Amino acid sequence: MKKSLGAKTYLYPAPVLVIGTYDEKGKPNIAPVSWAGICCSDPPCIAISMRKATYTYKNIMLKKTFTISIPSEKYITQTDYIGMVSGKNVDKFAKTKLTPVKSEYVDAPYVEEFPVVIECELYHTIELGLHTQFVGKVINVRADESLVDNEGALDIKKINPLIFTPDTYAYYGVGDYLCQAFSKGESLK
Ligand SMILES: Cc1cc2nc3c(=O)[nH]c(=O)nc-3n(C[C@H](O)[C@H](O)[C@H](O)COP(=O)(O)O)c2cc1C
């Protein structure tokens, strides 16, 4: 028997992505988001949802671009901190000692220390309510060379990304490899 829990955004797992933007003076800023995910393969798009009260919201509206840096587990403290304070009041790069790098393809900074970076142009803006969804068209992905295999795929175990639970607001790490998709189901065809 299942218990009814009401209208909640209980979706598992949620990613932890760090959004990089510049303000009108060119100050780089970063903030984590978990209300986010892949939303189209062609053109390649990723959607993130921001509250209007955030500095990141204002910067994206201004510049129409952003980066997504994927933090690995070892940056959990810095990632949590940048979600607790606003770029309105704090230079988060200076405080965390993370390194801002100007993106090659878009007018936004990314985090040098994080293993994977996705450069996005704002493609759609969707007013949803408390959050505004920004659909970013992926212009380029860059990753630490040591993570990339011969086919250009990345090793999730080496990225070691953080996972977020939307009900308990907790961080988790990645679990075990199980099998390839579109393979196991063959036995039931
Ligand atoms: C793990 C985590 C996930 C978060 N996800 C979101 C999100 O999806 N959308 C959002 O608006 N804020 C989210 N926040 C809160 C913002 O990161 C926070 O308000 C931050 O201070 C905004 O910074 P800014 O004002 O410099 O943009 C999250 C915070 C944490 C720690």
Q: What is the pLDDT of residues 13-47, one digit of tens each?
A: 999 999 999 999 999 999 999 999 999 999 999 99
The best mutation among 16, 34, 49, 167 to test binding of ligand 1, ranked by most ligand atoms within 8 Å of the C-beta, falls on 34
Q: What is the pLDDT of residue 87?
A: 98
CATH domain 14-188 topology? Pnp Oxidase; Chain A (2.30.110)
- Please name the amino acid found at residue 176: D
Q: What is the pLDDT of residue 8?
A: 97
- Which tens digits make up the pLDDT trace of 115-149? 999 999 999 999 999 999 999 999 999 999 999 99
Confidence class for position 65, pLDDT limits 50, 70, 90 = very high
Confidence class for position 164, pLDDT limits 50, 70, 90 = very high
Rounded distance from Cα 83 to ligand 1 centre (Å)? 5
Q: Which atom of ligand 1 is nearest to the CA of 21?
A: 27
Q: How many CB atoms lie within 10 A of CB 102?
A: 14
Phi, psi of 59 (to 5 degrees): -65, -40
Q: Is the CB of 21 under 6 A from ligand 1?
A: no
Q: What is the pLDDT of residue 79?
A: 98
Q: Is the CB of 59 under 6 A from ligand 1?
A: no
- What distance in Å separates the CA atoms of residue 125 and residue 86, rounded to the nearest whole number? 22
> Hey, where are the domains in the chain?
14-188
- What distance in Å separates the CA atoms of residue 40 and residue 47, rounded to the nearest whole number? 9
Rounded distance from Cα 57 to ligand 1 centre (Å)? 10
List 164's β-bridge partners, or say none: 14, 171
2: Cβ–Cβ under 8 A, 6 or more apart, which residues?
none
The best mutation among 18, 22, 49, 54 to test binding of ligand 1, ranked by most ligand atoms within 8 Å of the C-beta, falls on 54
150: Cβ–Cβ under 8 A, 6 or more apart, which residues?
none
Tell the residue nearest (CA) to atom 9 of ligand 1.
50
Rounded distance from Cα 20 to ligand 1 centre (Å)? 12
Percent pLDDT > 90 in the chain is: 98
Q: What is the pLDDT of residue 67?
A: 98
- Which tens digits make up the pLDDT trace of 71-112? 999 999 999 999 999 999 999 999 999 999 999 999 999 999
